[in-house]
Structures are given as C-alpha cells and as structure tokens.
Amino acid sequence: MTALLEVEGLVKHFVAERSVFGRPTAHVKAVDGVSFTVEAGKTLALVGESGCGKSTVSRLVLRLIEPDAGRIRFEGRDLGTLNAEQLRAFRRDAQLIFQDPYASLNPRMTVSQILTEPLALHNLVPAARRRERVEELLRLVGLEPRFARRYPHEFSGGQRQRIAIARALAVEPKLIICDEPVSALDVSIRSQILNLLRDLQDRLKLAYIFVSHDLAVVKHIADRVAVMNLGTIVETADAQALFAAPRHPYSRALLSAIPVPKPRAKRSRIVLEGELPSALNPPSGCRFHTRCPYVIARCRSEVPQLLADGTGHATACHRTAELPPAENIVPADGGFSPSLEKLVAAFSGAAEGTGRAGVGHFGTAPQT
C-alpha cells in the first residue's frame, strides 16, 4: 500500500541576513533533510523544542511555502509539479488547524460565512444546499446549528477550536495538519478536543500530522512519532515503541522530562546542559552533540544517518548500539488507583450518555 503522504529529503533555509547589495549572508536552516511518510487514517506526531522546524515542515507539506529541495508526494503525485489549478485541488485534500483559535478565525465573519467560504471556493455544494451543509458540519463537531449566525467573539476558546475544525472538515480532506491544536486550551477543554479529533478520525478515516510539544498528548493521540531537533529528524518510531524505549539521547532527554501527575514519581531525568544551539549556525556533525551526555569525537565531525532497524524504528545516532538500556526513561505515573479509576469512569460515563464526547450530540452543547 502506498502511503498517503511521502516526504523525502525536505530542505528549507530562510535568509536571515543580507549584505548591502541584497546578497544573502546568513541562513536559518529551519528544515534540513527531513523524510517521513503518513499512512491514510493514521496520525504522525512531530515533536521537538521550539525552533526545531516542526511548524515549517507542516507548512511545507501544504506548499504554503516552497521547499528549497526535496520531494513531497501526496497519493503518489509529486506536489512540486502541480500547477495552480491542481494545487488548489490538492488543498481540498489537505487542511490545517492552527494553535490559536482566537487568531485563526476572521472576527468579521459569522460562523456560517466562515464555513461556507471553503464550500464556495471549491464549488463543492450547490448554493442552495450550503446552509444545510453548514448545520451538518456544526453538528459533526458538537456545536448547535443555531450557532451559525454568531460571530467568533461570542464563543469560548474550545468552541472556536471546534469551528476551526469544522472549517477544515468542510472540504472533506484526507489529511489534516494540526499545529499545536490544544496548546492554547484549558485542560478540560483540551480533552474534549482530543476526543473529538479521535472520533472524527475513526468516522472519516482522516490522517493527521499532529505538531505538538506536549508529549503526554502525543502518546495519547499518535500512531507514529518523529522527534525533531534543529531541522532534522533524530528518531522516528511507532508511538508505543518510542515511549517504551526511546533510543536517541535527545528523545530520551525529552521523554524523561515529561511532568507526570503523580507526586514522587520514579524518574531518571536526563538534564540537558547548555542552551539550544542556533539554527543559524547549527553545530557540525550531529546537531545534538553540544548538549548530548554521550558525545564522542566522531559525533562532532560526522553527521549520523537516520537508520531503521527491522521494526520501523529509525534513529540518527552513532552510538545507538552502545547507549545504556532505555528502561525507566519515561517516568511512570502509575495510572489510577482502582477506586479513582471507578470514580473517573463514573464521571465520564455520565457525559458519554449524551453521545460520545462531543460528536453528534447537539442537544446538550455548551451554551455561551
């Protein structure tokens, strides 16, 4: 089976400085040789610290910015060769949800206008049936159809994110790129949106590229994870495998630092010394070597390749085989005690009675 999306050797350098004659003198190497695939109906998470290039990758995939090198294939077609019309057709298949639901909705448009625009642009639904489709979309994301006439400021953050999701769904995409979709939301709202994204995936067979720095959320939602550091992927694996035993020292440091909701959790935190190096002038050899606790001379001179083992777990580290075992890197939060498990089940059980967490339940949607 060919993957829905195949990305190969993607490179994007931004010009950071120019000489007086306008010639570029310094580049930010935001993305430097990134390859990955996304299967239909699955979720790939891109994780890493701020500035590692994860948002740039998501924009490159949609061709919102043009790559300097590399190939992106969507359903086998090379996106680089598409003309304007074909590109527009492709945008129907791939949509984007942004982090900040306060900034990503036009305050001067009603919800109905926001949701109708993509339908009209792509000429999907005849004008007479658009109202009906808008109501259907609102129901799909757990909002009441009567909200269609309201403006974004009348909604809470979680409701706005639902509207943004409805807008993305309007064109019936196959791939949605979620750029930190829950980072700006409160915890209780965050779980509603995560449940919604998962339900929609099951129902509509959507593929997600999920960009996030919240690793517990990533473990919850992702099928595969790619860990990025300074514009390159250092490790990629199935989510379960990565969280069970991360291999790259950078992934280990990231996962070991997850704060877990359990007091006195057993953990062996790997503290990274030093500051994140600048992408303007990334370190030679392995880009992680300035902060790596296991650095040897070879790491400073030779760039490690991303090498896969038989199970689809790939690591870009010269010392993969020599590192200490990875057990107990990810802190154990111990789950819930039996009585708390029952209590939480009772808590969410009452909510489930009204429909599965947002999807399709429109009679009890929150009031503004």
Partner 1 sequence: MTAGPLIEIEGLRVSFHGDDGRITHAVDSVDLSVANGATLGLVGESGCGKSVTSLAIMGLLPKQSAAVSGAIRFDGFDLLDVPDATLRDLRGNRLAMIFQEPMTSLNPSFTIGDQITETILRHRGGSRRAARERTIELLRRVHIPSPEKRIDEFPHKLSGGMRQRVMIAMALACDPQLLIADEPTTALDVTLQAQILDLMRELKAASGAAIILITHDLGVVAEVCDEVAVMYAGEIVERAPVDELFANPQHPYTVGLLGSIPRLDRRTSHLATIEGMVPNMANPPAGCRFAARCPFVEAACTRSSPPLAMLSPTHASRCIRAPLERLVS
Q: Return the number of the residue (265 or 308) whose C-beta is nearest partner 1.
A: 265
Asked if residue 260 binds partner 1 (CB under 8 A), the reply is yes
Sign, Cα dihedral of 329, 312, 173, 357: negative
Contacting partner 1 within 45-74 (CB under 8 A): 49-50
Asked if residue 354 binds partner 1 (CB under 8 A), the reply is yes
Give the DSSP per-residue string, 135-204: HHHHHHTT--GGGGGS-GGGS-HHHHHHHHHHHHHTT--SEEEEESTTTTS-HHHHHHHHHHHHHHHHHH
Asked if residue 87 binds partner 1 (CB under 8 A), the reply is no
Instruction: Look at residues 142, 175, 177, 174 and name the one whose alpha carbon lies nearest to residue 160.
Output: 142
Give the relative orientation of helices 157-169 and 130-140 as an angle to the nearest 10 degrees: 130
Give the separation between CA 1 and CA 67, rounded to whole angstroms: 26
Q: Is 252 left (phi over 0), alpha (psi -120 to 50) or beta?
A: alpha
Q: Which helix (H) or strand (E) holds 57?
A: helix 54-61
When binding is defined by CB under 8 A, the residue of 126, 274, 324, 363 that contacts partner 1 is 274
Site mask, partner 1, residues 145-164, x = CB under 8 A? -----------xx-------
Q: Choose one: 116-124, 230-238, 319-327, 338-346; the region binding partner 1 (CB under 8 A).
A: 338-346
Coil, strand or helix at 96: strand
Smallest distance from the beta carbon of 250 to partner 1, in angstroms?
9
When binding is defined by CB under 8 A, the residue of 154, 302, 309, 352 that contacts partner 1 is 352
Buried b / exposed e over 254-277, threshold 16 CB at 10 Å, is bbbebeeeeeeeebeebebeeeeb
Q: Choose one: 75-83, 84-92, 306-314, 335-343; the region binding partner 1 (CB under 8 A).
A: 335-343
Contacting partner 1 within 172-211 (CB under 8 A): 186-188, 190-192, 194-195, 198
Q: Return the number of the residue (311 or 367) whose C-beta is nearest partner 1.
A: 367
Instruction: Look at residues 276, 278, 255, 259 and name the one whose alpha carbon lies nearest to residue 328.
Output: 255
Give the relative orientation of helices 157-169 and 111-121 as an angle to the nearest 10 degrees: 20
Smallest distance from the beta carbon of 38 to partner 1, in angstroms?
21
Give the separation between CA 181 and CA 199, rounded to whole angstroms: 15
Q: Return the number of the residue (214 or 238) whose C-beta is nearest partner 1.
A: 214
When binding is defined by CB under 8 A, the residue of 9, 293, 312, 334 that contacts partner 1 is 334
Instruction: Look at residues 166, 216, 167, 225 and name the one whose alpha carbon lies nearest to residue 38.
Output: 225
Contacting partner 1 within 205-244 (CB under 8 A): 213-217, 219-221, 243
Asked if residue 281 binds partner 1 (CB under 8 A), the reply is no
Asked if residue 111 binds partner 1 (CB under 8 A), the reply is no
When binding is defined by CB under 8 A, the residue of 276, 303, 323, 326 that contacts partner 1 is 276
Which one-letter DSSP state was computed for residue 364?
Answer: T
Sign, Cα dihedral of 309, 315, 321, 323: negative
When binding is defined by CB under 8 A, the residue of 272, 299, 316, 317 that contacts partner 1 is 272
Count of residues in contact with partner 1, rule CB under 8 A: 68
Smallest distance from the beta carbon of 354 to partner 1, in angstroms?
7
Torsion angles phi and psi, residue 291, rounded to 5: -115, 0
Binding site residues, partner 1, CB under 8 A: 49-50, 156-157, 186-188, 190-192, 194-195, 198, 213-217, 219-221, 243, 253-254, 257-265, 269, 271-272, 274-276, 330-337, 339-340, 342-352, 354, 356-358, 364, 366-368
